Amino acid sequence: MSEFDQMYREVILDHYKNPRGHGELDDADAHAEGQNPLCGDEVSIFVAFGEDGDTIDEVKFSGRGCAISQAATSMLTEMVKGRSAAEVAALPRDELLDEIGIPLTPVRLKCALLGLSTLKLALHKARGTPLPEEWAGASSDLELK
């Protein structure tokens, strides 16, 4: 497989063109917005918890940006649904990167991790827990709120 085919492999293109979990939640239990000012990628994440107040029942995202940032966020929504918020708030970034499964340069790594950084922020805000020190591994250039 050529490098080109790896970068824009079918699953990435599929998630980019048909994003899962695309949309917004009016009564979200957790919400955050992330932006990469260098390239203008934007992601807003909305999470609804189950009755136990911890299980991620529903997760939606909206935004615009490059194929990598949008596809990665789409894949992320599939990965985390049904899992515990506490667990996802500490999700190792490699779990997402393995799923994405393409070689990423440092610049594109930030694109790939935008959604995860934003989701973690949303969960920590909702749970009132302090932000982790090693912030998804790529946050210093990202603007999160």
Partner 1 sequence: MAVRTKPRLDARKLRADFPIFEQEVRGKPLAYLDSAVSAHKPRQVLDKLRTFYETSYANVHRGVYTLSELATAEYEGAREKVARFVNANEARELIFTHGATESINLVAYAWGLDNLGPGDVVVVTELEHHSNFVPWQYIAKRTGAAFRAIPLDDRGELRLDTLDEIARSGNVKVVANNLVSNALGTINPVERLGAWAHEQGAIMVVDAAQAAPHHAVDVQQLDCDFLAFSAHKMCGPTSVGALWGRAELLEAMAPFNLGGHMIRSVKLEETTWGQLPYKFEAGTQPIAEAVGFGAAIDYLNDVGLDAIEDHERELLVYALERMAEVPGLVTYGPAPERRAGIISFNLETVHPHDVAQILDMEGVAIRAGHHCCQPLMAKLGVAATNRASFYLYTIPEEIDRLVEGLHKAQKLLAQ
Residues that bind partner 1 (CB under 8 A): 2-4, 7-8, 13, 16-17, 38-41, 64-68, 107-108, 111
CA atoms of 138 and 103, how far apart (whole Å): 16
Nearer to partner 1, 89 or 113 (CB): 113
Calpha distance 132→52 (Å, rounded) = 23
CB of 48 to partner 1, least distance (A): 27
CA distances from 25 to 49, 86, 88, 122 (A): 12, 20, 19, 13
| Smallest distance, partner 1 to C-beta of residue 6, A | 10
Structure tokens at 25: 């939640």
Q: Would you say 73 or 89 has its CB closer to partner 1?
A: 73
Nearer to partner 1, 18 or 129 (CB): 18
